[in-house]
Amino acid sequence: MSTSNQENQTWKSKGTFLLAAAGSAIGLGNLWRFPYITGENGGGAFILVYLLCVLMLGLPLLMAEVSLGRYSRRSPITAMGSLARHIGASRSWAGVGIMGVLTGVMILSFYSVIAGWAMSYTYESFAGTFTGMPADEIGKFFSNMIADPVTLTIWHTVFMLASGIIVGRGIHKGLESGLKIMMPALFILMLLMLLYAITQTGQFGRAVEFMFKPDFSELSVNSIIAAMGQAFFTLSLGMCTMMTYGAYMPKENSIPVTCLSVAGLDTLIAIIAGLSIFPIVFAFGMEASAGPGLLFISMTTAFSQMSFGAIVGGLFFLLVTIAALSSAISLMEPAVAWLQERFGMSRAGATVIVGALIWFVGLGCVLSFNLWSGEEYKLFGKTFFDILDYLTANLMLPLGGMLVAIFAGWKMGRNKMMKELGLSTTLFNLWMPLTRIFAPAAVLVILFTSL
């Protein structure tokens, strides 16, 4: 049994679960990944599928994960195993937790590299590097940064150290106080950027059209998979992360209300990010499909022209870094908890091992942007970074989510789920078929058409 089981704690205050779950959900997935994937997949039609996935797959599955976690009050690996034992299902369900551990390690190894970019941009913005810099040089600055493996490795290392220190000291301490200020601050700064995009770029209408006028000729099977993957990624679903947090949720919290708030806030932040970024992209003649650099290049261009841009920009990237940190913690936690449980390691020891492994795999992602970016290092036209991103977001998370849905929908039993979820009968009768049939079927159909 791990320490977290023995302590069997719940979050100190009712709002803390919401804060922690939102902290996990809101991160680079919303600010960095959503805009660039949207740009690569042609805008409106992609966003429509993404929103449908959030509503019909994401929300029911989020409620399922949180309920299973709260019901078992265990860390995810033990949770699936002990739940299975408890209800007389096969012990191999524990495998879903193990897959989650692996997925978290794989995601964080590229997530940390991108968070490193945000740290570097925080530093450079505050230092005034971008003040008055012409748009094309801002693009060049980004290319030069990712071409330099040493710089990327340094920031990746700093980010992993920060994540490790927080995880190693236990999830509650760092989180509860910090996030209360940081999350609202991020939200306010995002609204300011939106205001800038509306009033200063002259391209807001075009951005709205790009994002909300679906052009279905742009929608390939690959875009549908990407939309589903983005929905799982941004809501931290499919790797039992939300189960871990659910285990700490007090009984008196309403699961439907909290999950709706998390999914709603998360979607709102992503949409605001898109509405702030695309007007800048169009105003400065950049490509919406520019790829992973989109957030960094577009936002920096706006900051370079703004009065107090160095401060506003520095603050913005600082908040992006913190949002990434609160997600990184939740990516690392399952692996650390697993080592503690399985091998009786100390929390510190487990954190060092997991952190070092992620750091090492992350070096492959660092190199994907420079020394390994050539065709001879690619597999199916994808770099190491592309492969990790694709495998985790588009395959592993949806598969993990599908298994959780099958478990919650078919194995747990109607009465237990109904009691734990606390949904009205009508809503429960909506949740049940979505979880039992729609979610597994949708994931399978979407994945199979891709093959």
Please report, as ranges, the residues that interact with ligand PHE according to CB under 6 A: 24-25, 27-30, 107, 233-234, 236, 239, 241, 327, 330-331
The residue among 284 and 296 lying less far from ligand PHE, judged by its C-beta, is: 296
- Smallest separation, CB 1 to ligand PHE (Å): 24
Q: Which tokens is 111 given?
A: 């997530």
Q: Are 407 and 96 in contact (CB under 8 A)?
A: yes
The β-bridge partners of 382 are: 379
- Smallest separation, CB 396 to ligand PHE (Å): 10
How far apart (Å, rounded) are the C-alpha atoms in residues 102 and 338?
A: 10
The amino acid present at 200, given as its one-letter code, is Q
How far apart (Å, rounded) are the C-alpha atoms in residues 240 and 334?
A: 8
The amino acid present at 52, given as its one-letter code, is L
- Smallest separation, CB 328 to ligand PHE (Å): 8
The residue among 234 and 383 lying less far from ligand PHE, judged by its C-beta, is: 234
The residue among 25 and 37 lying less far from ligand PHE, judged by its C-beta, is: 25
How far apart (Å, rounded) are the C-alpha atoms in residues 255 and 16?
A: 13
How far apart (Å, rounded) are the C-alpha atoms in residues 93 and 277?
A: 42
The residue among 238 and 440 lying less far from ligand PHE, judged by its C-beta, is: 238
The residue among 83 and 329 lying less far from ligand PHE, judged by its C-beta, is: 329
Cβ-Cβ contacts under 8 Å for 275 (sequence gap 6 or more): 194, 197, 204, 207, 208, 211
Exposure string of 49-78, with b = 16+ CB inside 10 Å and e = fewer, is: bbbebbeebbbbbbbbbbbbbbbbbbbbbb
How far apart (Å, rounded) are the C-alpha atoms in residues 77 and 88?
A: 17
The residue among 242 and 412 lying less far from ligand PHE, judged by its C-beta, is: 242
- Smallest separation, CB 433 to ligand PHE (Å): 26
The residue among 283 and 386 lying less far from ligand PHE, judged by its C-beta, is: 386
- Smallest separation, CB 168 to ligand PHE (Å): 18
The residue among 30 and 67 lying less far from ligand PHE, judged by its C-beta, is: 30
The residue among 122 and 241 lying less far from ligand PHE, judged by its C-beta, is: 241
The residue among 110 and 204 lying less far from ligand PHE, judged by its C-beta, is: 110
- Smallest separation, CB 384 to ligand PHE (Å): 19
Nearest C-alpha neighbor of 334 from the set 270, 383, 396, 386 = 396
The β-bridge partners of 209 are: none
- Smallest separation, CB 105 to ligand PHE (Å): 11
The β-bridge partners of 379 are: 382
- Smallest separation, CB 393 to ligand PHE (Å): 8
How far apart (Å, rounded) are the C-alpha atoms in residues 29 and 317?
A: 15
| Phi, psi for residue 170 in degrees, rounded to 5 | 100, 140
Cα dihedral value 342, 345, 349, 350, nearest 10: 20
Q: Are 21 and 365 in contact (CB under 8 A)?
A: no
The residue among 39 and 309 lying less far from ligand PHE, judged by its C-beta, is: 39
- Smallest separation, CB 110 to ligand PHE (Å): 11
The angle that helices 255-283 and 171-200 make with each other, rounded to 10 degrees, is 40
The residue among 350 and 418 lying less far from ligand PHE, judged by its C-beta, is: 350
Q: Are 399 and 443 in contact (CB under 8 A)?
A: yes
How far apart (Å, rounded) are the C-alpha atoms in residues 294 and 278?
A: 9
Residue with smallest beta-carbon separation from ligand PHE: 29
- Smallest separation, CB 72 to ligand PHE (Å): 19
**Which residue is associated with the tokens 């261009």?**
301
Q: Which tokens is 244 given?
A: 């871990």
